[in-house]
Chains A and B, each alone.
Chain A
Amino acid sequence: MSKQEFTITVYTENQIGLLNRIAIIFSRRKINVESLNTSPSEVEGIHRFTIVIHEMEEVVKKLVRQIEKQVEVLKAYYNNNEEIVWQELALYKVSTDEIAEKVKVERLLREFGARAVVIRKDYTVFETTGHREETDRLINVLEPYGLIEFVRSARVAIIKASRGFHEKLREFELQEPSEHVVENEYLDKQDEVFSM
């Protein structure tokens, strides 16, 4: 089994200190977090962490169980890149003079779907969203024209197969065990669990 990119989605209560609790699950095992984003979710009062790591699936599976074990975590999932829709936001600051002089720059930016956020005499800030490779490519082409500053956000991702968390949460919140309560559902995939 080789390492690949996995996106871990964690639904949590909004509690001080939880970020640390989740972060140390990775650092304890000397696993680098490539990107981490926290945001509200579609359910009121429930937060959502989106964490990207480069690891073997077997390791990721165990990490997700350790995350889900935390008291304030409701559910945690992991997905490979085929199973999600994701975006990252990038900001680029370039000299306004350069853009004004060299039409090519503007064309480039348009080609990459970039949008001007701020235009000032001395500099202009562009914004683009996309996958890592796309935002990276724009850095490469802008560099010859004097890229002053660059920053990229963490990944945000939507799970393609998910029916949304609302329904799951309702099931999860049922106190009595029932056939329909889907807990640890990744553990429940018979062919995976039952392989020796």
Chain B
Amino acid sequence: MQSTLNQPQKAVLPTKTNTISGSQAVLEALIAEGVKTIFGYPGGAIMPIYDALYDYREKLDHILVRHEQGGIHAAQGFARTSGETGVVFATSGPGATNLVTGLADAMIDSTPVVAITGQVFAHLLGTDAFQETDVINITTPVTKWNYQVTDATEIPSVLAKAFYIARSGRPGPVLIDITKNAQLQQFEYEGYQACTHIRSYRPKPVVRQDYIKQAAQLINEAKQPFVIFGQGVILGKAEMEFKRFIEKAGIPTAWTILGMSALPTDHPLAVGMLGMHGNYGPNVLTNECDVLIAVGMRFDDRVTGRLDKYAKQAKVIHLDIDPAEIDKNVKTTVPVWGDCKETLPLLTELIEQKCYPQWLQRFRDYENEEKITCIEPELNPTSDILTMGEVIKTVNELTNGDAIIVTDVGQHQMVACRYAKFTQSKSNVTSGGLGTMGFALPAAIGAKYGDPARTVVAVIGDGGFQMTLQELGTIMQSNVDVKILILNNQFLGMVRQWQQLFHEKRYSFVDIASPDFVQVAKGYGIAGQSINDRKDLKEAVSTMISHKGAYLLEVMVGKENNVFPMVPQGCSVAEIRLK
């Protein structure tokens, strides 16, 4: 089959013809797309691009990572805090396969990333050449789109398409594999045309006014409506539209882990986080509301618990840009497909100004119950043993909720997302769908480049930190100002918690030893300290925040503390346990 890539739609203005290499065309495309920062790692098959990059050092900032996985997680972190597309370079073979975890993570969390990989010469494809892997087929299930370039003349249009696909509609990762001959090939460059249309691709479904009307009617007639939202609000840059909607509707509102920070955590209508370790009220009352309005979220199993007992009593309004999400897990009463930046204002216009004081009070009552059993012991513990929660509380106090919090995966992630306070959007960066341990450190590097003015705190467990701690080298070399906060419970805590609760305390391989993290950081020229006493906590966090440059703070916390509340797997959200 021949490739039939779309030609640029607009006519190219006649310019002075100039001959450039495929590699230069790649870099020109990045500049044209507004890219300033690239995370990457060189190697044999991508050397022509790196050679060209040498002459573009003024225009493009390349951050040399220590592992390609770190490169793509950094690109993800960049995309999450900047709202732009992250870019990562890797070579063929192992360089490309090291991207796979990050691609899968970006795919499931809808993060716009363009990965550019080098590939062996086209004539060597399929010969088991040195560092040849079939990266296109390996990455097909974990990319929104991928494409192999073997001819340099395709590069401008393919990269234009890549950026358009990565960021439009429901965003996602795109991988472009470029053979070495195409990188080296000289061709007549006719300039760069951004892509705005692909024949077979409709990023946004058509907004249907009749569904908006039906949704508005359901909302207006509701007695106990409940709004739940996900990352769609952030990805759609619709925070203002969303806020106006819930404020007019007066409906209690909860977020998913990825939606978090789109609405200030102290908003009067905010009732907390959904899901397995979310708050008590939003979980229990999901099964009591009469109209459930889901905005830009995908009813992940960690949010819904047992599906056949999830919100069965409620009429469901689902706003999503991806038609494949409608009815995928939860049957919808009214599907409002479309970009929520467009649909929310239409809906806001048709709904009545309302408030539900009694209904909202029920959330507050559950919150009080949760406070006594779970929140107080975590934030203001009476024993001498430090808790993760009080560390997060201290961070909140010292940053006023203005910091970007990047979390890894496990207990510390759940605690951080439960207790972190946020005043602005794009502040919570975490690996939600894939649950990638090792995500936080490299993602924090990217997060800092994505929003350099803000303080970035990477909250990481002792297990996850050891998965990608080589990126301390990147922090050292590029002077990245990230605050590394290790919550060390000397266990793979979340697995240990499950083993305690569901496997009769058979602690199978969760007892993880760690090096002296402060010494490790010191080896990379990064200042730090370790504390295990409450009286040192505030000062230590304050030192970390005010330190000029990167800093590592290790806090030794209780070894066998558990995260509660918890919806046990296979249970309904209403069966959430407080202990």
Contacts and interface: CB of A to CB of B under 8 A. Distances in A.
Same complex for A and B? Answer yes
Interface of A: 12-17, 20-21, 24, 28, 45, 61-62, 65-66, 68-69, 71-74, 172-173, 175, 177-178, 181, 183-184, 187, 193-196
A162 to B, nearest CB: 18
Contacts of B337: 184, 187
B1 A69 contact: no
Contacts of B197: 175
B62 to A, nearest CB: 28
Interface string B105-126: 0000000000000000000000
B201 A62 contact: no
A189 to B, nearest CB: 12
B478 interface: no
Given A15-B1, A196-B333, A74 B206 contact: no
Interface stretch (B280-288, B320-328, B523-531): B320-328
A184 B4 contact: no
B518 interface: no
Contacts of B322: 69
Contacts of B341: none
Given A177-B207, A193-B332, A69 B141 contact: no
Nearest to B325: A65
B199 A13 contact: yes
Q: Ordered nearest first, which 4 A-B pairs have the shortest CB separation?
A: A65-B324, A177-B206, A74-B200, A71-B145
Interface residues of B, number: 36
A73 to B, nearest CB: 6
30 contacts: A14-B1, A15-B3, A16-B1, A16-B3, A16-B148, A17-B137, A17-B140, A17-B147, A21-B140, A24-B141, A28-B141, A45-B4, A61-B327, A62-B324, A62-B328, A65-B328, A69-B322, A69-B323, A71-B144, A71-B145, A71-B198, A71-B200, A72-B200, A73-B200, A74-B200, A175-B197, A183-B323, A187-B326, A193-B327, A196-B315
Contact of A17 (B136, B323, B328): B136
B212 interface: no
B461 interface: no
B324 A66 contact: yes
Nearest to A169: B199
A46 to B, nearest CB: 9
A74 to B, nearest CB: 4
Interface string B137-156: 10011001111100000000
B2 interface: yes
B326 A12 contact: no
Given A68-B324, A175-B197, A195-B331, 4 more contacts: A62-B327, A72-B200, A183-B205, A184-B337
Contacts of B335: 187, 193
B199 A173 contact: yes
Given A74-B199, A177-B207, A69 B324 contact: yes
Contacts of B205: 183-184
Contacts of A175: 197
Given A13-B4, A17-B137, A45-B4, A183 B333 contact: no
Interface string B271-289: 0000000000000000000
Contact of B165 (A17, A62, A71): A71
A112 to B, nearest CB: 35
A45 B130 CA distance: 36
Contacts of A177: 206-207
A20 B199 contact: no
Contacts of B4: 13-15, 45
Interface in B47-102: none
A12 B200 contact: yes
B9 to A, nearest CB: 10
Nearest to B208: A188
Contacts of A172: 202
A77 B136 CA distance: 27
B136 to A, nearest CB: 6
Nearest to B323: A184
Contacts of B147: 17
Interface of B: 1-4, 136-137, 140-141, 144-148, 165, 197-202, 205-207, 315, 322-324, 326-328, 331-335, 337
B137 A20 contact: yes
A172 B201 CA distance: 10
Contact of A194 (B137, B201, B333): B333
A152 B380 CA distance: 72
Contacts of B140: 17, 20-21, 24
Greatest chain B CB density within 10 A among A12, A16, A65, A71 is at: A71
A17 B3 CA distance: 10
Contacts of A194: 333-334
Contacts of A178: 206
Contacts of B198: 71
Contacts of B137: 17, 20
B133 to A, nearest CB: 15
A159 B31 CA distance: 47
Contacts of A184: 205, 323, 337
Contacts of B136: 17
A23 to B, nearest CB: 9
Greatest chain A CB density within 10 A among B140, B206, B326, B331 is at: B206
B194 to A, nearest CB: 15
A13 B201 CA distance: 10
A14 B199 CA distance: 12
Given A181-B206, A193-B327, A17 B146 contact: yes
A99 B34 CA distance: 74
Contacts of A61: 327
Greatest chain A CB density within 10 A among B2, B327, B334 is at: B327
Nearest to A194: B333
B200 to A, nearest CB: 4
B319 to A, nearest CB: 14
A145 B233 CA distance: 69
Contact of B206 (A13, A20, A183): A183
A42 to B, nearest CB: 16
Contacts of A17: 136-137, 140, 146-148
A69 to B, nearest CB: 5
A167 to B, nearest CB: 16
Contacts of A74: 199-200
B323 A65 contact: yes
Contacts of A16: 1, 3, 148
Contact of A196 (B202, B326, B331): B331
A68 B319 CA distance: 19
Contacts of B334: 194
A73 B199 CA distance: 9
A85 B207 CA distance: 34
A71 B1 CA distance: 18
A157 B268 CA distance: 57
A71 B162 CA distance: 11
Contacts of A69: 322-324
B339 to A, nearest CB: 11
